[in-house]
Amino acid sequence: MKNKPIVITTGDLDSIFYEIFFKSTKKKIKSPLILICCKSEFSKQLKIFRIKKKFRLIKLNYFKKLRLDNNKFNILDLNIDHLKKNMPLNAFKKIYIKKSFDMAFKIIRFKYSNKFINGPVNKSKFLDKKFPGITEYISFNFKVKKTGMLIYNKNFSVCPVTTHLPLKDVVRSINRKIIKEKIKLVDDFYKKYLKLKPRIAVTGLNPHCESISKFNEDEKIIKPSIEIMKKRNINVKGPFPADTIFNSKNRKLFDAVIGMYHDQVLAPIKALYEFDAINITMGLPFLRATPDHGPNKQMAGKNISSPTSLIRALEFLDKQ
């Protein structure tokens, strides 16, 4: 897998992607990079950010004959500029993102690459109700049902059992099957890619793992799931109260925390590491690591955005 190309899509056209991309590519990455975009937009961005490094166009049909390197930007042109004239701008932006994903998926299916980064995407402007997030969109396109989100830092990671769900829908989505699935995904990922048997903690659903209701999910669903996975030789413990599992002492005891819903685990890890973390999709037949932040449209073009998360994504994929 080492030194295979890393395929990158830009995400939203009006995001901070180009700024953080140009900043991040100043770092030395051994793996060749392939950027999927519109040539005209890329040329414009080179001028905006005063980048002197040249680019060259590559064609999908000739990939096997190319010797890619990072002395120049390797650009795969979507060739859809003509569509701008015939549709509203927002509709074009949506097609741009879809075509970018389609091209990246094609490269991966050709087995030319198994490393993928997508730039930040505003999910509400791109996805329909069928997909809660980009993780689910990618999983659907590769017909993979068992996937999971891992927000990864080299020192500590988190995985939400449910992802982009309204809080009112979380309880009905929690069951033993999905909890066991996420525990196994985290364990398998760490063993395969990090060569480490992880120490996994699982949070409870209710405050302090207690409930005034007759049915306590922590006792009836979460705890039995953990006990089953322990018997499968997985180093997992819990359930732990979410309000204390992230203190400094506990973070030294575990490599990853699995929480029951999105903000239960993403809020603390982003407070702890800010942009020094990446979003990895576990369970795919390839590696997808992407910046752990959104398009940040308000900061686009201001040249003050941090490239740290994209740099970490590139570094992680480069080592695989």
Q: What pLDDT does 289 receive?
A: 94
Q: Do 120 and 15 meet the contact criterion of CB atoms below 8 Å apart?
A: yes
* Residue-by-residue DSSP string for 47-68: HHTT----EEE--GGGGGG---
Q: Is the dihedral of CA 260, 264, 269, 272 positive or negative?
A: negative
Q: Which of 275, 276, 241 is nearest to 257 (CA)?
A: 241
DSSP H or E stretch at residue 135? helix 134-141
pLDDT 10s digits, 119-129: 988 877 787 77
Domain 1-144+285-320 identical in fold to domain 146-283: yes
Class of the domain covering 146-283: alpha beta
SS3 of the chain: helix, strand, coil, percent, to 5:
40, 15, 40
Task: Give φ, ψ of 103 to 5 degrees.
Answer: -65, -40
How many whole angstroms separate alpha carbon 301 and alpha carbon 299? 6
Angle value at C-alpha 245, between 255 and 139, nearest 5 degrees: 55
Is the Cβ–Cβ distance between 141 and 105 less than 8 Å? yes
The string over 158-184, giving b where at least 16 C-beta atoms fall within 10 Å of a residue's C-beta and e elsewhere, is: bbbbbbbbeeeebeeebeeebbbbbbb
- What pLDDT was estimated at residue 229? 98
Q: What is the pLDDT of residue 12?
A: 87
Domain ranges within the chain, ordered by starting residue = 1-144+285-320, 146-283
Q: Residue 245 has what DSSP assignment?
A: T
Tell me which residues of the chain have a pLDDT lower than 50: none
Strand pairing of 148-153 and 278-282?
A: antiparallel
Residue 51 in tokens: 């980048």
What would the pLDDT profile of 55-66 be if each residue is shown by its tens digit? 999 887 655 666
- What is the third-level CATH fold of 1-144+285-320? Isopropylmalate Dehydrogenase (3.40.718)
State residue 88's pLDDT score.
Answer: 85
Task: Give yes or no for a contact between 58 and 76, defined as CB atoms under 8 angstroms apart.
Answer: yes
Taking each helix axis as running N to C, give the angle between helix 89-109 and helix 134-141, from 0 to 180 degrees, rounded to the nearest 10.
50
170 touches 261 (CB < 8 A): yes
Other beta carbons less than 10 A from residue 30's beta carbon: 10
Residue 165 tokens read as 């769900």
> Residue 89 is which amino acid?
L
pTM: predicted TM-score of the whole model, two decimal places: 0.91
Q: How high is the pLDDT of residue 6?
A: 96
| Residues 6+ positions from 164 with CB-CB distance below 8 Å | 123, 132, 133, 262
